[in-house]
Structure 1
């Protein structure tokens, strides 16, 4: 062909990428890049004119040209996705794409969200925009408590606030906006009216609205009323994404399955269906827009669910659960705002514990923070860290047999000990209460129960006896400080009850079984 490469001639080819021009050896670039080799062997006009026009991100393409000339590839988070897309277009999926994939998943964290958001699309191959959005939505409350969030440019904050974030109330959106504005109020105060438009005001209750109106900045906003009215009627209530969920082992051939049910706040059940175990599901922390990671048994076990393919993978081995917490620490916790962390014994005196050392501890998500409940190594006394900011606790988490169950609701930690003592500890007021509600009426053992709750906006602590034939549920009403008994058909003689826990879930990919509709309040 007329444009065939002459191996004995090393002529130059001019590459024009947006505003930049490069004169590169045709022989060299064709030896390394299949796209150019095919082009110059095709007889196309570019092969005759030795001029190629491209439209790639300038930083990514400049790094690519440097690699062509020096075999040295520079990858940075602000262009890694652009570079991967370019490599795919230039038919170099195997080499450069593999480095991009490894770099992204080894280095991505909350600090880099402003770099990643402008790069991702619905079809980007390294990671799709829906996957990044899924990560942001699930962990927004933790991300909003990081120094990283306070440094985000307004464009990144806007991109985040428009998502269907998993929150307990729209007041939390308002709080995150005010934290961001206050961090540099002289330059950011002017953005406040616009950012307030991302609050879905029709879902704000009267108590929260009254608190907002008492804010000093809001009092000085002359157009606050118009901001509320102009937001209109939002179709989706972001605070309505909290559920209880059960997993029941199903005996159906050789392949393990679980049957999943959701429960709303009134404990009405909604069957979702049977899911098949698939240990080929990726373990990358930031993975997929149709998956959910759910922890249970006081955060010592977990499951990753693919809602579209009806498959799951357990996260219950020591390696997998420790890796999960290690990722949380690396991606988010290490950037958390330096709040007033304190540690103390969980007793009547709440004595300060300056240097806690423990092999037995739980990490509990608490409405935008992570708290730690453990036992001291020698005295075996219960203690807490509120909140835990040292990400080394996450890196060092190990799955062990625990001598207590724990959950947290608002500012109160609820603990069930191996002796079936029930402890309440308010980590704000440092008040303590211990009781023995099951001393004379107990048909279960410590190892056969789950203790769980939502993190806020609720008044129930749930204790489930997983060995009961009919799935006995004990409910502690925090407002009345009283236990009651409810019964739910969450198990039977044929199947083994596996877990009951609270979880944030996006319903967009979850389809109920048997044509059921979601709860009326959903």
Structure 2
């Protein structure tokens, strides 16, 4: 009795052979109905189909066809979605699987997700996943999950154009992983050390790591490239991706976005249109940037390719943080610090959520009641819990400005007192004497990328004051002028919305401009 008479279809997938009811698979999968009911196809004549799909995911797919039962695992999820798309499964099932991925993904899944993604894979492609890893590398490398990654995952990540302030942060992450299980991981050090881009290290850092760590690896001598002797063929500088971003309101709802260098000279500028439909998913595509501003109370999501943006208020911004925290930090082990205390009850108001290298920092007012008297203090929480943030949501009228530079926090109160601290304790307080009459609501406080400076900008006058951290002095450094003789494409701005700092892929932005 041949296979047609027994209603049996043979499927050869790579090196494995499967047998399934022909009638069953035709009734459920449109691809096979088209293929097997058309007598002109060889597959129909031989009752045999040859495929080249991931075997583990294909086995899960066949189980679903035969039993209407599907066990979803991250180990096969993206390959399974690819298979379903290949066979033309309806969007209902595809959407359920994609939703599952976005709801359940965490960085602990990277070792099984990375091998499944490609530049064209469904659900999430390699470009989108890599952009997420690059943007959040410092947070990922600060977790215990990082310590337990296999060598292949560490190697994959450290090859990317990671967004770091210094190449030493990549080196330190490698050492942290290698030292966690030093006996079994010593053999991988040389392999991983080759992924550090030495040309982009400070000379002092380069000399230190050569002397302390590389003595036993003579084969690595050829990869060292002193910055002063660079011949120009070194890889992309990962530490040069943090820029100042100036955003101006224009006619209607259009915004003009300028990316500035450390001297506040324009590197690129573009006009963007409002699009409230832009998704707030944790994994935007590789052409999207998230920029936090207004002392950590708002965010703007910019699509550099589509030339569109979406403004995000604190409620949506804190939900965005919840998604990141759930995905990256296995446990939100928050720690609370007092920034300033024993103030009048009304002295502090509002809250801020800022990012600092490896963590998020949340600022909020706290009420102390002693001997019948209520006083206010400003507190901060590192890696705050959802509950801590939710308790403060009723207080939106923030009356202070906040910014973070490296590990230092700067708070400017409504009476123009600058509080300088390193999260756990106050270093200094400085009174700011403005050079011009400024309304507090018109002021922007922001740190300068890669510099020991904090800027204070008056949105109405565009005067820029600078606090030099080393000298501890305020200095007027200039004026942020508008366009000269603006054209239709360079319309005069109505208002300065913000000046802030963010990680950006400038080369990609320039290509798209």
1:89 aligns with 2:86: yes
Q: Secondary structure at the match of 2:290?
A: strand
SS at 2:278 equivalent: coil
Counterparts of residues 21-40 of structure 1 (less than 5 Å): 21-40=17-36
Q: Figure out how many residues of one structure are paired with residues of the other and give that number.
A: 486
Partner of 2:447: 453
Please tell me whether the aligned partners of residues 359 and 377 of structure 1 are also in contact (alpha carbons under 8 angstroms). no
TM alignment of 1:55-66, pairs within 5 A: 55-66=52-63
One of 10, 15, 20 as aligned partner of 1:14: 10
Deviates further, 418-427 or 305-314: 418-427
User: Aligned ranges for residues 36-435 of structure 1 at < 5 Å?
Assistant: 36-43=32-39, 44-215=41-212, 217-228=213-224, 233-252=233-252, 256-316=253-313, 318-334=314-330, 342-347=335-340, 360-378=350-368, 379-385=375-381, 387-388=382-383, 390=385, 392-393=387-388, 398=393, 400-427=396-423, 430-435=425-430
SS in 2 for 1:22: strand
| Partner residue in 2 for 1:355 | none
List alignment gaps of at least 5 residues for structure 1. 350-357, 516-522
Distance in 2 (CA, whole Å) between partners of 1:211 and 1:364 is 32
Q: Secondary structure at the match of 1:432?
A: strand
Partners of 2:511 and 2:459 lie apart in 1 by 24
The equivalent of 2:501 in structure 1 is: 502
Specify whether residues 143 and 392 from structure 1 end up closer, same or farther in structure 2 by C-alpha distance, changes over 3 A only.
farther
Cα distance in 1 for residues equivalent to 2:428 and 2:116: 51
CA distance 1:200–1:412, shift in 2 (3 Å): same
Q: Report the Cα distance in structure 1 between the residues aligned to 2:214 and 2:340, rounded to whole angstroms.
A: 41
Q: 1:373, 1:382 within 8 Å by CA — same for their partners in 2?
A: yes
Is the Cα–Cα contact under 8 Å of residues 363 and 371 in structure 1 kept in the other structure?
yes
Do 1:325 and 1:394's aligned partners in 2 also have CA atoms closer than 8 Å? no
Residues 14 and 53 in structure 2, CA contact (< 8 A), matched pair in contact too = yes
Q: Does 1:477 align with 2:472?
A: no
1:107-126 deviation per Cα after TM superposition (whole angstroms, max 9, x unaligned):
11211111111111111122
TM-score, normalised on structure 2? 0.88
Output the CA distance in 2 between the equivalents of 1:498 and 1:265.
19
Closer/same/farther in 2, CA of residues 93 and 397 from structure 1, 3 Å limit:
farther
| 8 Å contact from structure 1 (residues 146, 335) kept in 2 | no
In structure 2, how many angstroms separate the alpha carbons of the residues matched to 1:175 and 1:361? 33
Do the aligned partners of residues 203 and 397 (structure 1) sit closer, same or farther apart at CA in structure 2, a change above 3 Å counting?
farther
Distance 1:422 1:105 in 2: 41
d(CA) in 2 for partners of 1:15 and 1:512? 46
Q: Is the contact between residue 295 and residue 401 of structure 2 (CA under 8 Å) also seen in structure 1?
A: yes
**RMSD of equivalent CA atoms:** 2.7
Q: 1:426 to 1:81 in 2, by over 3 A?
A: same
Q: Secondary structure at the match of 1:74?
A: coil
Query: Aligned to 2:458, which of 459, 465, 476?
Result: 465
**Distance in 2 between the 1:286 and 1:376 partners?**
34
Asked whether the equivalents of residues 348 and 432 of structure 1 are also in contact (C-alpha less than 8 Å), the reply is: no
Tell me how far apart the structure 1 counterparts of residues 452 and 119 of structure 2 sit (CA, whole Å): 40
Any stretches of 5+ residues in structure 2 without a counterpart? 343-347, 369-374, 484-491
CA contact (8 A) 2:456 2:465 kept: yes
CA contact (8 A) 2:408 2:422 kept: yes
Deviation at 1:85, TM superposition (A): 0.8
